[in-house]
A = this chain, B = another copy of it.
Amino acid sequence: MSDRVKAFAPASIGNVGCGFDVLGLCLEAPGDEIEAWLTDEPGVKINSITGDDGRLSLEAEKNTAGIAIASFLSVTDQSKGVTFDLHKKMPFGSGLGSSAASAVAGAFVANELFGRPLTRQELIVHALEGEKFASKSAHADNVAPSMMGGFTLARGEEPFDVATIPVPAELRIVLIYPHVEINTSDARGIIPTEVPLKKAIRQWGNVAGLVTGMAKSDFGLIGRSLEDVLIEPHRAKLIPGFEELKAAALDSGALAFSISGSGPTCFALTYNEHLAQAIGTAMGNVMKSKGIDYTLYHSKVNQEGPKILTS
């Protein structure tokens, strides 16, 4: 047990193209930080929140990290309490799994404070309680990669079934976050509830190809398979310049390009640092030409997930 722990939990790419609601990829940065300490008074309290432009409530039961910690305490130790500072270091509603990162940071830091009674896999359900509050759905495609690191499959929700999928060490991810806001529930609302079987077959063939390509370090197969024929065509319309961004990334040598989660962040995959730089520049130029502010992120696959920060 520690009296005080500071930890970081990373952003993540949900869906990863064809793997809607089930696949996720953990990023090195950005991410959220939480510093938490034990209190003699039971319950969860928020001491402060920074980086949220005042948008988040200081009531722990209305905060994703607070809810995750309360869920953790409900199955471990309710004799003590946890108070924390939350430092939001990534944009809201960006498609980078911001609420999942906060929830994972909360569950992770609580587990550290109590001497690690649970495994990372066991912490997922608690982080997901927080994620449910923020996103109104119980999909683990961001929580799973943020908590476990790497490339993850969250197969089925009840019961949870999370697996990590091997990825090639050379994989590089370039993300562009256009500074426009998309509401996740809007992004979900435009998706049809019935789909043609033919397209669904194409989609699960792509999912199988993406997983196989990753496991075998077959970059060609990864590139051909990271194709979302069901969701991207609908959500792309909500992202200004999507088709031009995609063309710019692929023309610059990207293996594949798609939307991160429900957007507006988009990501490109490559296996080479120089190509990654060129892809980022090309995507940035598209946004500049449209007068849209943006942020670029470069990342390897983060195999570590959340980590303790020494302050």
**Residues of A with Cβ closer than 8 Å to B?**
18-23, 153-156, 161, 163, 165-166, 191-198, 200-209, 211-213, 215-216, 218, 221, 224-225, 230
Q: For the complex formed, measure the closest distance between the CB of A166 and the CB atoms of chain B, giving whole angstroms.
A: 7
**Are B155 and A216 within 8 A (Cβ)?**
no
**Are A155 and B211 within 8 A (Cβ)?**
no
**Are A194 and B193 within 8 A (Cβ)?**
no
Q: For the complex formed, measure the closest distance between the CB of A190 and the CB atoms of chain B, giving whole angstroms.
A: 12
Given contacts A19-B204, A204-B207, 7 further A-B contacts (CB under 8 A): A153-B205, A153-B212, A163-B216, A193-B197, A194-B196, A203-B204, A204-B204
Partner of A196, one of B193, B216, B218: B193
Which residues does chain B contribute within 8 Å of A225, judged by CB atoms? Answer: 155
Which residues does chain B contribute within 8 Å of A195, judged by CB atoms? Answer: 194-197, 200
Which residues does chain B contribute within 8 Å of A202, judged by CB atoms? Answer: 156
**Are B201 and A20 within 8 A (Cβ)?**
yes
**Are A201 and B163 within 8 A (Cβ)?**
no
9 cross-chain pairs, A with B, having the tightest CB-CB distances, nearest first: A204-B204, A22-B205, A155-B205, A200-B200, A215-B215, A155-B209, A204-B207, A211-B211, A153-B208
21 CB < 8 A contacts A-B: A20-B204, A21-B205, A153-B208, A156-B205, A163-B209, A163-B212, A163-B218, A165-B212, A165-B215, A166-B216, A193-B197, A194-B197, A195-B195, A195-B196, A197-B230, A200-B200, A207-B208, A211-B211, A211-B212, A211-B215, A215-B216
Once bound together, how far apart are the Cα atoms of A18 and B204, in whole Å?
A: 9
**Are B208 and A197 within 8 A (Cβ)?**
no
Partner of A221, one of B161, B166, B200: B161
Q: For the complex formed, measure the closest distance between the CB of A119 and the CB atoms of chain B, giving whole angstroms.
A: 16
Partner of A155, one of B165, B194, B224: B224
Once bound together, how far apart are the Cα atoms of A212 and B155, in whole Å?
A: 11
A207-B208, A208-B153, A209-B155 known; A215+B166 contact, CB < 8 A: yes
